[in-house]
Amino acid sequence: MLKSILIKSGRIIDPASDRDEVADLLIVDGKISEIGQINSKDQNVEVYDAKGFVVTPGFIDIHCHLREPGEEYKETIATGTKSAAAGGFTTVCAMPNTNPPMDTKSVVDFVKNKALTEGVIRVLPIGCVTKNSHGKELSEMSELADAGVIGFSDDGKPVSDANLMRQALTYSAGLGLPIINHCEVPELADGASMNEGWIATRLGLKGMPNSAEEVMAARDISLSELTGGKVHLAHISTAGTLDMVREAKRRGINVTCEVTPHHLTLTDEAVLSIGDESTSFDPLTPNAYDTTAKVNPPLRNISDMSIMANGINDNTIDFIATDHAPHSSVDKICTFQEAAFGISVLETALGSVLSLYHNKKVELGTLIKKLTSDPASFLGSNLGTLKIGRTADVTVFDLDETWRVNSSLFFSKGKNTPLDGTSLTGRVKATFYGGEYVYRND
C-alpha cells in the first residue's frame, strides 16, 4: 500500500473544478482523496508543507522529443521523464521522430515499455502519419491507434503533399485521433535557419518568412473543413496563423493549436545574444549567432511574440506545449547554419510562462488551465484535474521564487537553452505522479 500524503496549506488551483483556495489535499492510494481542512495524526500520512506554494494538477505536455530509440546521446526516456518531472509535468506525449520512427506497433510498444520500466512519469506516444515520416504513404494508423498512440505526426517534417494530408485527416477521423502537423512549406523555408527580418539580414542568415507557416496552416484548416478530420497545428508562431485559427474556430472547423513557452516569451533577438542594454542596431559581439536560440519554427519578432498571449486569453490557443527538443553539445557547438534546431524546454517551461502572469498579460488560472485541463481535454482523458478520486498527479510550485537557470544542472541531457544564465520567477518545488514523489526541491 502506498503511503498517504497530505499536502498542507497550499493554494490549490484546479481549473477543471473552478477551484482556487488555500486548503489541504490528501492523497490516499495514489488518488486524490480529500480537499479541505485536514488534520491527520495518522503515522502513515506523510505531510508536505505547501504553505505559500501553489498546488495544481500535474502538467501535461502534448509535444516533446524523448529521442529514444535511436538518439540516446541526446536524451533517453529515463532522463527525459526526469526532466519533465522536474518541470512539473506528469504526462508527456512523445513525438515519433525517433530512429526507427514510431511508425509501427513494435516501436510504440518499445517506447511504452521503456516508459514503464525506466520512466518516472506517464509517456503517451504519438505515431507517424506516414511510413518512416517520409511523407509518401500513410503509416498503419489503425494498428498504431490500437497500440495506444494519442495522435499522428511527422513532426519536424511537415506533411507536404496536400492530397496525402487530406487522406490522413480522413483516415484518422475514423479513428477519432488528430493529425498534429508542423506547418512549414519546405520551399519557403529551404536553407533558412532563423526568422526572416532585419536580424537575419544583418547576420547574413537565410530567414524563414511567416508565410512558410501560414500557407500550410491555411491549407490544413481548409483540408480539415473538407474532411471533418481533426487537425492540430503544432507550435504556432505567427500572428497570421493565430488569426486563421481564430477564424476557423469561429466557423466551427475541427482545428486546435498549441504554443510553446519560447514563442510566448522570446524573440529572434535571442540569436544575437545581447544584454538588456543593447539593441539589434549595436555591433555584433562574438556571442552572436547563438545556436541555443536556433529552433523551428524560429523565434519571431516582437509583434508576433506578444500577440500570442492574446491567443491564450481568448482560447484560440488550446494549450501550451514545450516542443522540448534536447540536443547534445556536438549538435550546437558549431556554426549557426550547421546547428540542430531545438531547445531543451521542460525544466524552464513553468518559469517562462509565469512571466506572462508576473507581467500581467495572462491570469494565473488561465496559464494553469493551459498546462493541465486543456491539454487533458485535447487527449479526451480525465487527467489534468484534482477532482476527488482521480489519479494524484500533482505539482507544487513557488510562484515568486526567482532562480538562475543553470543548464548544467538539468536532468535532461539537452543543455541547449538560450535561457542559460538568465533568471526566471516561479519554480517547481515538488511533483507527485500517482501519489508518489517524482521530484522534490526543498
Partner 1 sequence: MTLETASQQSFGQKHVLDLDSFTSQDITHVLDNTLAMEQVLEREIRKVPALRGKTVVTLFYESSTRTRVSFEQAAKILSADVINVSSSGSSTKKGESLYNTALTIQAMQADIIVIRHPHSGAPHFLARQLRSKVINAGDGTHAHPTQSLLDLYTIRKNIGTIEGKKIVIIGDIMYSRVARSNLWGLTKMGARVVLCGPQTLIPNDFLNGHRTEEGHPFAAVEIQTDLDTALKDADVIMALRLQLERQKAGHLPSLREYSQTYGLNARRLAIAKDGALVMHPGPMNEGVEIETDIAHGAQSVIEEQVKSGVAVRMSLLYSMAAGQNLEI
The residues annotated as belonging to the active site are: 323
Residue 90 or 417 with smaller CB distance to partner 1: 417
Based on the shown chain and the rule CB under 8 A, indicate whether residue 71 belongs to the binding site for partner 1: no
Per rule CB under 8 A, is residue 288 in the interface with partner 1?
yes
H helices present in 23-133, as ranges: 77-86, 105-118
Q: How far is the CB of 274 from partner 1 (least distance, A)?
A: 12
Closest separation in Å from C-beta 185 to partner 1? 14
**Binding residues for partner 1 restricted to 180-199, rule: CB under 8 A:** 196-198
Binding span for partner 1 by CB under 8 A among 99-107, 129-137, 148-156, 280-288: 280-288
Bridge partners (DSSP) of residue 23 are 10
Q: Are strands 19-28 and 4-14 parallel, antiparallel or unpaired?
A: antiparallel
Kindly report whether the peptide bond that precedes residue 100 is cis, defined as omega within 30 degrees of 0.
yes
Contact mark string toward partner 1, 201..240, x via CB under 8 A: xxxxxx--x-------------------------------
Minimal distance, residue 79 CB to partner 1, in Å = 22
Least distance (Å) between residue 100 CB and partner 1: 21
For residues 334 to 363, the per-residue mask of contacts with partner 1, x marking binding by CB under 8 A and - elsewhere, is: xxxxxx------------------------
Query: How many residues of this chain interact with partner 1, rule: CB under 8 A?
Result: 28
Q: Is residue 166 within 8 Å of residue 223, measured between CB atoms?
A: yes
Cβ-based nearer residue to partner 1, 215 or 312: 215
Choose between 58 and 197: whose C-beta lies nearer to partner 1: 197
Determine contact, residues 129/91, Cβ cutoff 8 Å.
Answer: no
Nearer to partner 1 by Cβ, of 208 and 394: the residue is 208
Q: In sequence order, what are the residues at sequence separation of 6 or more whose Cβ sits closer than 8 angstroms to the Cβ of residue 15?
A: 365, 366, 368, 369, 372, 373, 374, 385
Q: Does residue 181 sit in helix, strand or coil?
A: strand
Long-range contacts of 135-143 (CB under 8 A, 24+ apart): 135/159, 135/160, 135/161, 135/164, 136/161, 136/164, 138/164, 138/167, 138/168, 138/171, 139/103, 139/104, 140/103, 140/104, 140/105, 141/168, 141/171, 141/172, 141/175, 141/177, 142/175, 143/104, 143/105
Least gap, CB of 265 to partner 1 (angstroms):
22
Q: Which of 37, 44, 113, 287 binds partner 1 (CB under 8 A)?
A: 287
Q: Is 389 in the site for partner 1 (CB under 8 A)?
A: no
Nearest approach, Cβ of residue 78 and partner 1 (Å)? 25
Pick the stretch among 99-107, 124-132, 277-285, 413-421 that binds partner 1 (CB under 8 A).
277-285
| Cα distances (Å, whole numbers) of residue 436 to 88, 318, 397, 441 | 13, 29, 16, 14
156: its cell numbers? 519536424
Binding region for partner 1 (CB under 8 A): 196-198, 201-206, 209, 279, 281, 283-289, 330-331, 333-339
